[in-house]
Structure 1
Amino acid sequence: MKRNNQSIARKILTYVIICLIIAITSITFLSVQTAKNNLYQLMELNGKEMVEGIKYQAYMQEIMDEGVDDILNNYLYDAAFSIAAMNSYSDETLEELSRKTGLEEINVIDGNGEIIYSNMPANIGYVYGESHAMQQVLKGSREKIAEDIRQSEVDQRYYKYGGVSLADGSGAVQIGISADAVEEMRQGFSIQNIVQSIGQQENVVYAFVVNRDFEATAHSNPERVGMIFNYEGERRAIEAGQEHTGIFTSEERGMDIYEVILPIENNAGEITGAINMGLSVATVEDAVRQMVLRSIIVAAIIAIMSIIIIYIAVQRTAKPIKLLAASTDKIALGDLTEEIEVKSKDEIGSLANSFSIMVKNVKNMIEKIMVTSNNMNSFSDKLVASAQQNATVSDQIAKATEEVAAGASEQVKKTNHVKKNVEDVSNKIKNIVGNIEDLKTSTMSMVESAQKSRKEMQEMNQQIEAIKESSHVSSTTMKNLSATSEEIGKIVDVINGIANQTNLLALNAAIEAARAGEAGKGFTVVAEEIRNLAEQSVKSAENITTLIQETQEKSKAAIITIDDSTSQVDKGQQIVERVGHSFEGIVATINENQDLFKNLETAMMDLNKMFTNTTTLIQDIKFIAEDTAANTEEVAASTEEQMASVEEITSSMEQLNEMVNELNHLITQFKI
């Protein structure tokens, strides 16, 4: 038996490899997607941390500026109040005080805003304009004032100025200290420097700070400071105070950028602007590509190792299946002596054990079928012999029935002849009665006629005797036919018993075939055909039984009718014998005494009545004979039908015998 080269081990290995590839691919894809999402989340977190760092630096710078301003302002106020408390002023005193205190500039101003004393001779005579900050002190609107650090237009240095009014209110004292170090420190901690240093990092594309007017106050590219960045992210941050993150494609830079925008708040919680941090996703994409490459390499290594392990496991698992398949091939060819040797304790071992049990059951079933088939073959032969014997008996019955029918027909003919003779005698008696006077005168003629009538009566007696013998033969034949029908009924009972036994055997064979499953389907069909033939045999036997019963009933009726006819014939014979004796008496009486002609006339009248009754009886015998002939013909027809049924049963038995032989041939294909 040829088997497909694609074994189950290869199929399992193929399916497992496909599933493994799908699983590894799915896991790799999900891992890469998860890692990519994590990298983007990390990038967002880093961007937010850098933005928060800038915000913190801005916050700290604001605090530092406020602290430095407070320190410088207090220092200026203390120094200015100390100088304002002096009783007299001179340029030399102020120069000496400048050297000792480190104050860069000390000016004493009169009420008109003109410098009258100074440690710097060039300042003497300078008049402050109306917009100068010191005018507020000179005019008395403020007691003291401190200006912001500003750059000198003369020496480009940074100074911080402050002043207070004189004790007598006649003017004011202005002090200026050098703020180069403070400005340098402030510049070092400025938002622009922080943004610019952050913008120099590898993954940062840009960073900038905008105020509420969307103007860039600090930018990683100093050339962009002052530009307007009025975009959706900046508007959401400044106007709604919402964070904004996302990836967009920059056509200007030709790359994808991850943007993080956060609002900036002052100490009062008011939004003063926004910080925008643009990060390059190239590093993430490079990391993802590297991760995909490493994942593919690792997946390939895992796949190869898994395939090797799975191949070994599948081969070890498929080995018992191959052994089981080899055994089933031999069993499929009919060799039930093959033993299945699979020692595994898993489902395959259980399957092999179950299959072995099934083979044993099939083997036992085949043995039982062989025994049953042999018995059926023997029964079939006996049944065929019985059917043939039944056919022979039916043929004999048919012949006997035909003879009975012929005898009945002859009886009808003879009865008609007797009837005719009786009618003739009756007519003659009537003539005798009618011509009794002529008989009186012509005694001799009447004697001759009486003698002639005596002779005819003897002939009629002989005919009645023949009818009697024919009736006895018909009665004996009908009794023999009834006995033969009873024998046929017994044979039909035997056929019924054999058919029922065959039907029972077919039912048992069907049950065993059903237990055998697929292996017993063919025998199920054979068992079904046998059961159908058995049922047909039973039906045919029932029909034969019915016909035999009808034949027996009709035979009994015919026997009764023939017996009645025989009884009537006996009576007629007795009457004829009496008539003969009467004729003898008449002859003797005529010879002895003609005076008795009147009595003879009366006797003849009685005799005429008797002949009339005899004619009626003969008519009844005719009807009975006709019925006997008709019944005999029906018996003959039933016998012919019985012979046809017997021939059909014989044919069915021969077919059954052929099926049994074919079943034996099929069973011989199995080795047990």
Structure 2
Amino acid sequence: MKKGPNLKSIRFKLTTLPLIILFAAFTFVTVVGAYITKVSTINRMKEDGLQLTRQMAKRIEQSGLAYKTLNEQIEDKIRVSGRVILNQPTVNNDVLKKVAKTLDVDEINYTDGTGKIIYSNLESSIGAVFDENHISYPVLSGKQSELMENIRKSRENNNYYKYGYVKNSSGGMIQIGILANKIQSLYDKTSYQAIVDEIGKNPDIVYAEFIDKNLKKIAANDSKLIGKINDDEGSKKAAIDGEEYAKEYFYDVKNVTVYDVLTPVYVNGEHIGAIDIGISMKSVNDSVTKTVITLSIIGIVAFILVGLMLFVFANGSVNRLNKIKEYLGEMSNGNLSINIDEKLLKNKDELGDMSNALNLLKNSFRDIIRDIKEKADEVGKSSESLAATSQEMASGSEEVAATVNEIAKGTNIRLRKLQT
């Protein structure tokens, strides 16, 4: 059965374990790096988005004020023209032409009480009738002293005019028209639709819309969405509550996740709605992907280099340790005649110190054993001398004992003789 790696071995601890730790560290750094990149990119996107919508809101406010100012100026001009005509002692076509030229007015129509144009600076208009269905009827009927139309396109040509109606106290009314192509052009360039169309050309913008306070889309870069209702949280906060809003949002129209940014719009201090843009998250995903790829490449290269370095150094260290272990094994078996490799002894690291210490230990053991052997030989010789001396002493003792026995026997014989 094949054995698994020895988790307690020096080789594992010097090579595999550091690589595992290194891999875990690079993985952690990559994950954290990707997260930080995403957060920082989204924060930057939020600031850029809010800055863009604020600029759009400011443009709408400024264009609204400019349009309103120009419109009021034209209306004042219509009023002045009406008063000038009413103050004329007589009115006819020539008078109206003179007033139109003097005041730089494009069209003046003077009607009777029935709404029929009886005088005009434009002869083609004479005889036309304003009936009760016409927008000017409240002035014609005397219910209003004046009425100002919005700028509209002429029914006779492609020009845009601003028409106003001033009541004639003698009956009828005066219609005054001023060419407003430049003002209409300004309006077209700065209208809600023009602004969202301009922003919508940016490839990073998924949608651009203007929402009124009823959450209705008044303008959108996708014309199919105009008139639809936005009832999401961001639209309510910006278009109704007047608060800026920015958050990731799933745009179900195109089934993509965008960063939804909304800024309330004010004109003359009045809250009129909000600008809403959806910024593509592609840049965020690209940044995160780029960060992950970069860190992964760095991690892989570093992992390989560190792995090779660890393998080379650790493998060399483990091989030297194995040699030292072999020497210790030989010494434990009593073999002190081994010669430790000179390369080990010349190493200037800790393993070199261990090899030199082992060499000293081996030599010390060999010297001790040699001394012990010499002492043992001396003791052996002394033992032989002592044995010989002991034998001599034993022989002398036997002679003494024999002499003593003889003396004793002689003494006993003498005693017996004396007794007898």
Partner of 2:161, secondary structure, is: strand
Q: Give the one of 136, 161, 164 matched to 1:162.
A: 164
Q: Which residue is 2:208 aligned to?
A: 207
Q: Give the one of 151, 167, 189 matched to 1:149.
A: 151
Contact 1:247 1:256 in 2 (8 A): no
Q: Which residue is 1:580 aligned to?
A: none
Matched, 1:92 2:94: yes
After TM superposition, the structure 1 = structure 2 runs for residues 352-501 of structure 1, keeping only pairs within 5 Å, are 352=355
Counterpart code for 2:202: Q
| Deviations 1:452-486, CA, capped at 9 Å, x for gaps | xxxxxxxxxxxxxxxxxxxxxxxxxxxxxxxxxxx
Partner of 1:175, secondary structure, is: strand
Contact 1:237 1:261 in 2 (8 A): no
Residues 277, 365 of structure 1: alpha-carbon distance in 2 compared, 3 angstrom cutoff: farther
Give distance in 1, aligned partners of 2:241 and 2:272.
12
Give distance in 1, aligned partners of 2:361 and 2:81.
119
Q: Which residue is 2:280 aligned to?
A: 280
After TM superposition, the structure 1 = structure 2 runs for residues 96-245 of structure 1, keeping only pairs within 5 Å, are 96-98=98-100, 102-108=104-110, 115-121=117-123, 122-124=125-127, 126-127=129-130, 129=132, 132=135, 135=138, 139=142, 146-153=148-155, 155=157, 157-162=159-164, 173-245=174-246
Deviation at 1:105, TM superposition (A): 0.9
Contact 2:67 2:183 in 1 (8 A): no
Give the share of equivalent positions with the same residue, in percent: 22
> What TM-score results when the alignment is normalised by the length of structure 1?
0.47
Give distance in 1, aligned partners of 2:354 and 2:86.
116
Contact 2:167 2:173 in 1 (8 A): yes
Counterpart code for 2:21: C
Deviation at 1:348, TM superposition (A): 3.7
> What TM-score results when the alignment is normalised by the length of structure 2?
0.70
Partner of 2:88, secondary structure, is: coil
Deviation at 1:129, TM superposition (A): 4.7
Q: Which residue is 1:414 aligned to?
A: none
Q: Give the one of 331, 342, 345 matched to 2:345.
A: 342
Deviation at 1:211, TM superposition (A): 1.1
Deviation at 1:197, TM superposition (A): 3.4
Give distance in 2, aligned partners of 1:58 and 1:371.
113
Deviation at 1:357, TM superposition (A): 6.1
After TM superposition, the structure 1 = structure 2 runs for residues 310-321 of structure 1, keeping only pairs within 5 Å, are 310-315=310-315, 317-318=317-318, 320-321=320-321
Residues 374, 27 of structure 1: alpha-carbon distance in 2 compared, 3 angstrom cutoff: farther
Give distance in 1, aligned partners of 2:95 and 2:128.
18
Partner of 1:202, secondary structure, is: coil
Contact 2:147 2:166 in 1 (8 A): yes
After TM superposition, the structure 1 = structure 2 runs for residues 544-555 of structure 1, keeping only pairs within 5 Å, are none
Give distance in 2, aligned partners of 1:271 and 1:375.
119
| Deviations 1:85-143, CA, capped at 9 Å, x for gaps | 4333211232344356542211345677665432134245745759856856995975x
Deviation at 1:217, TM superposition (A): 0.4
Give distance in 2, aligned partners of 1:369 and 1:330.
20
Residues 293, 106 of structure 1: alpha-carbon distance in 2 compared, 3 angstrom cutoff: same
Give distance in 1, aligned partners of 2:304 and 2:110.
94
| Deviations 1:213-267, CA, capped at 9 Å, x for gaps | 11110112112211122223322333444444343445553x3322414242314
Deviation at 1:146, TM superposition (A): 4.2
Counterpart code for 1:56: K
Report the number of matched residues: 375
Deviation at 1:359, TM superposition (A): 5.5
Residues 113, 252 of structure 1: alpha-carbon distance in 2 compared, 3 angstrom cutoff: closer
Partner of 2:27, secondary structure, is: helix
Give distance in 1, aligned partners of 2:156 and 2:100.
20
Q: Which residue is 2:413 aligned to?
A: none
Q: Which residue is 2:30 aligned to?
A: 28
Counterpart code for 1:281: M
Partner of 2:345, secondary structure, is: coil
Matched, 1:256 2:256: yes
Contact 1:48 1:260 in 2 (8 A): no
Partner of 1:342, secondary structure, is: helix
Give distance in 1, aligned partners of 2:366 and 2:99.
133
Q: Which residue is 1:624 aligned to?
A: none
Gaps of 5+ in 1: 383-672
After TM superposition, the structure 1 = structure 2 runs for residues 49-60 of structure 1, keeping only pairs within 5 Å, are 49-60=51-62
Give distance in 1, aligned partners of 2:89 and 2:377.
157
Partner of 2:89, secondary structure, is: coil
Partner of 1:266, secondary structure, is: strand
Contact 2:82 2:176 in 1 (8 A): yes
Give distance in 2, aligned partners of 1:362 and 1:79.
129
Q: Which residue is 1:616 aligned to?
A: none
| Deviations 1:380-404, CA, capped at 9 Å, x for gaps | xx9xxxxxxxxxxxxxxxxxxxxxx
Contact 2:15 2:310 in 1 (8 A): yes
Q: Which residue is 1:424 aligned to?
A: none
Q: Considering only CA atoms, is the larger Rg found in Structure 1 or Structure 2? A: 1
Q: Which residue is 1:327 aligned to?
A: 327
Contact 1:247 1:258 in 2 (8 A): yes
Give distance in 2, aligned partners of 1:234 and 1:200.
22
Residues 63, 355 of structure 1: alpha-carbon distance in 2 compared, 3 angstrom cutoff: farther
Q: Which residue is 1:266 aligned to?
A: 266
Give distance in 1, aligned partners of 2:336 and 2:177.
122
Q: Which residue is 1:302 aligned to?
A: 302
Query: Which is worse superposed, 98-107 or 205-214?
Result: 98-107
Which structure is higher in strand share? 2
Contact 2:245 2:263 in 1 (8 A): no
Residues 376, 97 of structure 1: alpha-carbon distance in 2 compared, 3 angstrom cutoff: farther
Give distance in 1, aligned partners of 2:108 and 2:96.
7
Give distance in 1, aligned partners of 2:91 and 2:325.
126
Contact 2:244 2:264 in 1 (8 A): no
Which structure is higher in helix share? 1
Give distance in 1, aligned partners of 2:309 and 2:165.
91
Give distance in 1, aligned partners of 2:71 and 2:266.
17
Residues 56, 223 of structure 1: alpha-carbon distance in 2 compared, 3 angstrom cutoff: same
Deviation at 1:195, TM superposition (A): 1.5
Contact 2:11 2:314 in 1 (8 A): yes
After TM superposition, the structure 1 = structure 2 runs for residues 610-649 of structure 1, keeping only pairs within 5 Å, are none
Deviation at 1:372, TM superposition (A): 10
Counterpart code for 1:18: I
Residues 270, 352 of structure 1: alpha-carbon distance in 2 compared, 3 angstrom cutoff: farther
Give distance in 1, aligned partners of 2:47 and 2:265.
20
Residues 270, 365 of structure 1: alpha-carbon distance in 2 compared, 3 angstrom cutoff: farther
- Structure with the bigger RCO (C-alpha within 8 Å, sep 6+) is 2
